[in-house]
Amino acid sequence: MNTPTALMARARDKELDSVCTWAESMSEASLGGLFRSTYDQVYDGARTGRYKLSQLYKTEKIYFGTIIEINLQRWQNLEDGNLLDYKINGIEVDCKYSIKEGGWMIPKEALGHICLLCSSVDEGLKRSTWSLGVIRVIDSDLSEGRNQDKKHTLNEEAKNKIWWIHHNKALPLNLFLSIPQDHLELIFKDIDVERKGQERVNHLLRCVQQRPIPRNAICTVARQLDPMKRVRKNGGARSTLKHEGILVLCGHWQSHQKIVHELNLPAIDSSEFIATKVEQVDKSGDGVAYIENNYWRAVDPSHPVRGQAPELPD
């Protein structure tokens, strides 16, 4: 992944090596989660119902880079720099973001200093990636052209100097970008009518079964105060969908996580939900859970309803 030029640059530069070592201490999963949570923060789905880049204003897309910079600083508790964004191990570092790899705009004050280069895109299953690299920028690394703020991009030769911590890694799933368009239209129907929030959450859990559903997706669809109420029983989706043979399991409860495991469903964490249609069977076995004094197995969403789903333990 890293070129001989990048390897040589790191070997000759103790400060660059120090920043690279610090960056390598952050796991791929944690960094990917940082990019995912920043997209969700900018979409602000709980208030706006938005879930993709094309729904943002141009200024909001620019704002994304600033939020990545801030979130990284808070997460890693980085000291403010005197000249640039941060101090990492006492070294001045500038954080630059671009949706398009190679589009980083380098300011004059960053010359001679180390830059963290971030890029990402959120465009569905095959085109949602993120990258993080490190480089010390010198004058000869910059292209001749510049923008109105007198900032330059890196030239092609300089790009070979980038030490990639992670390059073109898969961004954690944006659930809505993996849902067929006809289902999306059903889920987001009447999105601006508050009283329809419960119906939209019900549609989400009908359309997306046997896959983890993050809390943020529920908030984006519900767009109401206490959106989690729309998932629970006593009038929420769990009560309604029970009559359609659908279980709605919550990762917050260990008893639900046990059922998820027994039904051979994908694991969910404490902030996720998973829905599945079930049917009663005669005996225990692989993929069978014991719920409400009976044995149950998960079935395909297209499977005909054969009685209501059991009552889940709290």
Q: What CATH number should be reported for the domain holding residue 272?
A: 1.10.10.10
Shared-domain flag, residues 197 and 159: no
Digitized pLDDT (tens) for each residue of the chain, 314 residues in all: 799 999 999 999 999 999 999 999 999 999 999 999 999 999 999 999 999 999 999 988 888 999 999 999 999 999 999 999 999 999 999 999 999 899 999 999 999 999 999 999 998 767 899 999 999 999 999 987 655 566 889 999 999 999 999 999 999 989 999 999 999 988 887 665 555 888 889 999 999 999 999 999 999 998 877 778 888 877 788 889 999 999 999 999 999 999 999 999 999 999 999 999 999 999 888 999 999 999 999 999 998 888 899 998 87
Q: Which amino acid, one-letter code, is at 237?
A: A
Quick one: 157 and 221 in the same domain? no
Give how many domains the chain has, as a whole number: 2
Residue 308 lies in a domain: no
pLDDT of residue 193: 58
Q: Give the domain-ending residue among 139, 170, 201.
A: 170
In a shared domain, residues 11 and 94:
yes
Q: Provide the 3-class DSSP secondary structure of residue 161.
A: coil
Q: Which residues contact 106 (CB under 8 A, 6 or more apart)?
A: 94, 96, 115, 137, 141, 142, 151, 152, 153, 154
313 domain-assigned: no
Q: Is 309 a domain residue?
A: no
Q: Is residue 305 part of a domain?
A: no
On whether residue 263 sits in a domain, the answer given is yes
Contact between 301 and 180 (Cβ < 8 Å)? no
Order across the sheet with 163-170: list the strands. Answer: 79-80, 86-88, 91-98, 114-122, 128-136, 163-170
- In sign, the C-alpha dihedral spanning 106, 110, 112, 118 is negative
- 84 lies in the same domain as 192: no
What is the distance between the alpha carbons of residues 148 and 105, in angstroms, rounded to a whole number?
11
Tell me which of 170, 204, 225 is where a domain ends. 170
By CB atoms closer than 10 A (0-12, 13-18, 19+), residue 209 is buried
Tell me: do 13 and 160 sit in the same domain: yes
Q: Which of 137, 170, 203 is a domain's end point? A: 170
For residue 311, being part of any structural domain is answered with no
C-alpha separations of 4 from 7, 10, 135, 162, 163 in Å: 5, 10, 14, 10, 10
pLDDT at 149: 61
The predicted structure's pLDDT at residue 1: 79
Residues found in the chain = 314
Residues 12 and 146 in one domain: yes
- Phi (first) and psi of residue 167, to 5 degrees: -130, 120
Q: Do 162 and 186 fall into the same domain? A: no
Q: Indicate whether 312 belongs to any domain.
A: no
- Looking at residue 255, what is its pLDDT? 93
Q: Mark whether 163 and 14 lie in a shared domain.
A: yes
Task: Give the pLDDT of residue 147.
Answer: 54
In a domain, 184, yes or no: yes
Domain that holds residue 66: 4-170
Q: Cα–chain-centroid distance for residue 122?
A: 9
Task: Tell whether 166 and 202 lie within a shared domain.
Answer: no
Q: Are residues 123 and 266 in the same domain?
A: no
Closest residue by Cα to residue 168 from 135, 128, 134: 128
What is the predicted pLDDT for the residue at 97? 96
Q: State the pLDDT at residue 231.
A: 84
Residues 150 and 42 placed together within one structural domain of the fold:
yes
Residue 79 has a pLDDT of 97
Same domain, 126 and 89: yes
CATH of the domain at 115: 3.40.600.10
